[in-house]
Copies of this chain bind each other. A is one copy, B any other.
Amino acid sequence: MTGTLTIAGLGPGDEALITPEVSAALAAATDIVGYAPYVARVRPRDGLTLHPSDNRVELQRAGDALQLASEGRHVVVVSSGDPGVFAMASAVFEALEEFPQWRELPIRVLPGVTAMLAAAASAGAPLGHDFCAINLSDNLKPWPVIEKRLRLAAEADFAIAMYNPRSASRPEGFGRALEILREAGCGERFVIFARAVSAPDQRIETVKLHEASPEMADMRTLVIVGNSATRRVGRWVYAPRHAR
Contact = CB atoms under 8 A, between A and B. Distances in A.
Contacts of A153: 132, 152, 156
Count copies of this chain in the complex.
Answer: 2
A124 interface: yes
A33 to B, nearest CB: 16
A234 to B, nearest CB: 5
Contacts of A214: none
Judged by DSSP, the binding face of A is: mixed
A132 B133 contact: yes
A234 B96 contact: yes
A117 interface: yes
A130 interface: yes
Interface residues of A, number: 73
Contact of A133 (B90, B131, B152, B233): B131
Contact of A130 (B118, B133, B239): B133
A135 B125 contact: no
